[in-house]
Structure 1
Amino acid sequence: MKLLRAQTAGFCMGVDLALKKLTSLLASPDNAGQAGKDRPLLTFGPIIHNPQVLEEYAAKGVRVVNDPADIPAGATVVIRAHGIPEPVRQAILARNAHLVDATCPKVKKAQTLISGQAKHGRVLLLFGEEDHPEVKGLLSYATAGAHVFGSMEELESLELPFGPTYFLAAQTTQDEQEFLRLRDYLRSRFGQELTVLSTICNATMNRQQEAMDLAALVDFMVVVGGRESGNTRRLAQVARAAGTPCVHVETADELSPDMVAGKHTIGLTAGASTPKKIIDRVQQVLEAL
């Protein structure tokens, strides 16, 4: 059996920066590697979508909160890599908390671009997962109104009357090819008046392209990462769309001999929030199998 591992597998820049900020706060004299009751260190929402990473930080005393009302005065609160809605940020500050922004720079750029369009009264058409925390944050900057859709079918079902000026953007981890298809459809309806923002992260596009290229070379694909991770799920979708059987696992414990029986070549990739040590372990187990 031959195993091909994607060069882009693993942490992206935004995830790496967010975790470095959190680790640095833990290592500060106030915490000395362990957050506690007297020096609460919180993240608003999971810092990234990887359960194994979250468990490691929880063991060091880092708590996850999802409601500003649960934040004690004086706590240090780290904004998750996916960002948060602007009203939530204001509510956290109102708790007299020390706020550390670990929002991915690419997400922050998308927030800024959307805010700029909204100030001109334009209505956002957002390609993304409505329940995803990044999307909830982006929508808070669309002050002139917004519509969210996750597919062409959902877009076609929206009532979009002529009158408002629309602009199109995407969740940073969405499929670039599908986004272009949606763009062309909307331009056929609204013409060149439709403003199109480039908000899909380059790292996402590169990972998806490599997943497609890899899928064309192998009999079977293994994608590693948290099941709550949108970009990881899309890597598996991209591989399957290329016609290659694919499995999405969080850890090597989910692998079995039956999965790879009869396979001659296996491709391995991982989401942007998957630690290298987990990918390495999956590779070791696959090679052993």
Structure 2
Amino acid sequence: MVDVIRAETAGFCMGVDLALNKLDSLIERNESGKIYILGPIIHNPQVLEDYEKQGIITATNPDEVPEDAYVVIRAHGVPKSVEDELRKRGVNVIDATCPKVKKAQLLIQRNTEDNRVLLLYGEDSHPEVKGLLSYGPAGPHLFDSLEELQNLDLDPAQKYCLAAQTTQDRAIYTKCINYLESKKIDFVTLNTICDATRQRQDEAIALSGEVDHMIVVGGRISGNTRRLVQVVEAAGTKCTHVETAEELPREELKKLNKIGLTAGASTPKRLVDDIKQILKSL
């Protein structure tokens, strides 16, 4: 029998729990009318499928949400102008933005009011990043790696504000801070990486040192899930990213003695439970 070690932090984080609780509460009390979410409320296809079956409509554009309808803002947040426009049109807005993301938005807004230029460590295509950028002044610099930061043409006479997408790698963020300090850049650093993200990454790295192979469960579009895979592989342990149990490489895993199991912050407990049972039965 394969020995399976499950990470204590695997599964939903506080922000995801809060967002889904807000949507569930709205579903319970909304006796008539349509409920929209603006983009996927969290990055997990199985959860989204469940809500679709309950009649929840995912809008890809704010214009798709009619006046007087209810719209739930996703856990990743939306650009400030989008939220303002929805409220102006008379849409009933339920803000389910993760408190950590909302804090990051407001920190960026407050620390760029003196014309500091925003340096944001994040993924260009990620919805959270689009929201964070909207809280800073025009002309920010977005980078996704230390190398990209090093390639930016920064003005020594300009003041900057350094922030990160909440699910980014803290170790790389620290290297970015050290690099800017070495270049004598005038900047303030915002502590915007979520503690839950750090704890998951730290636990995944520690666990990977005890096992032959790591399984990371979560949506493929989930940034924090992909980051777990990256930190495990960087630690030198083979890792497999799956969304569901059907994707497990069972024949390969049968030959192993110890398997580590963790999951992204938007992965339901039931999916992790199912995969753990299958791994134990190999």
Residue 179 of structure 1 aligns to a residue whose secondary structure is helix
After TM superposition, the structure 1 = structure 2 runs for residues 159-178 of structure 1, keeping only pairs within 5 Å, are: 159-178=153-172
- TM-score, length of structure 1 as denominator length: 0.95
Asked if 1:214 corresponds to 2:207, the answer is yes
Q: Report the Cα distance in structure 2 between the residues aligned to 1:66 and 1:120, rounded to whole angstroms.
A: 34
Asked if 1:223 corresponds to 2:224, the answer is no
Which residue pairs with 2:61 in the alignment?
A: 67
Residue 190 of structure 1 aligns to a residue whose secondary structure is coil
Which residue pairs with 1:34 in the alignment?
A: none
Kindly state the Cα deviation for residue 56 of structure 1 after the two structures are TM-superposed. Answer: 0.3
Which residue pairs with 1:14 in the alignment?
A: 15
Q: Report the Cα distance in structure 1 between the residues aligned to 2:213 and 2:123, rounded to whole angstroms.
A: 27
- Equivalent residue letter for 2:246: D
Match of 2:238 among 245, 254, 261: 245
Q: Report the Cα distance in structure 2 between the residues aligned to 1:64 and 1:160, rounded to whole angstroms.
A: 40
Asked if 1:158 corresponds to 2:152, the answer is yes
Match of 1:147 among 141, 151, 158: 141
Q: Report the Cα distance in structure 2 between the residues aligned to 1:43 and 1:190, rounded to whole angstroms.
A: 44
Contact map agreement 1:226 1:232 (CA 8 A) in 2: yes
Question: What percent identity do the matched residue pairs reach?
Answer: 54
What's the CA shift string for 1:193-222, capped at 9, x where partnerless?
320000000000000000000000000000
Match of 1:110 among 100, 104, 107: 104
Contact map agreement 1:174 1:231 (CA 8 A) in 2: yes
What's the CA shift string for 1:113-137, capped at 9, x where partnerless?
0000111110011111011000000
Match of 1:283 among 272, 276, 280: 276
Contact map agreement 1:119 1:144 (CA 8 A) in 2: no
Which residue pairs with 1:35 in the alignment?
A: none
Q: Report the Cα distance in structure 2 between the residues aligned to 1:269 and 1:218, rounded to whole angstroms.
A: 12
Q: Report the Cα distance in structure 2 between the residues aligned to 1:145 and 1:113, rounded to whole angstroms.
A: 17
Contact map agreement 1:167 1:195 (CA 8 A) in 2: yes
Q: Report the Cα distance in structure 1 between the residues aligned to 2:46 and 2:252, rounded to whole angstroms.
A: 23
Match of 1:266 among 253, 259, 269: 259
Match of 2:91 among 75, 93, 97: 97
Which residue pairs with 1:131 in the alignment?
A: 125
Which residue pairs with 2:225 in the alignment?
A: 232
Residue 270 of structure 2 aligns to a residue whose secondary structure is helix
Q: Report the Cα distance in structure 2 between the residues aligned to 1:102 and 1:150, rounded to whole angstroms.
A: 26
Kindly state the Cα deviation for residue 95 of structure 1 after the two structures are TM-superposed. Answer: 2.5
Higher mean displacement: 137-146 or 213-222: 137-146
Kindly state the Cα deviation for residue 190 of structure 1 after the two structures are TM-superposed. Answer: 2.7
- TM-score, length of structure 2 as denominator length: 0.97
Contact map agreement 1:76 1:98 (CA 8 A) in 2: yes
Residue 194 of structure 1 aligns to a residue whose secondary structure is strand
How many residue pairs align between the two structures?
A: 281
Kindly state the Cα deviation for residue 145 of structure 1 after the two structures are TM-superposed. Answer: 3.0
Residue 183 of structure 2 aligns to a residue whose secondary structure is helix
Kindly state the Cα deviation for residue 144 of structure 1 after the two structures are TM-superposed. Answer: 4.8
- Equivalent residue letter for 1:72: P
Q: Report the Cα distance in structure 1 between the residues aligned to 2:110 and 2:41, rounded to whole angstroms.
A: 26
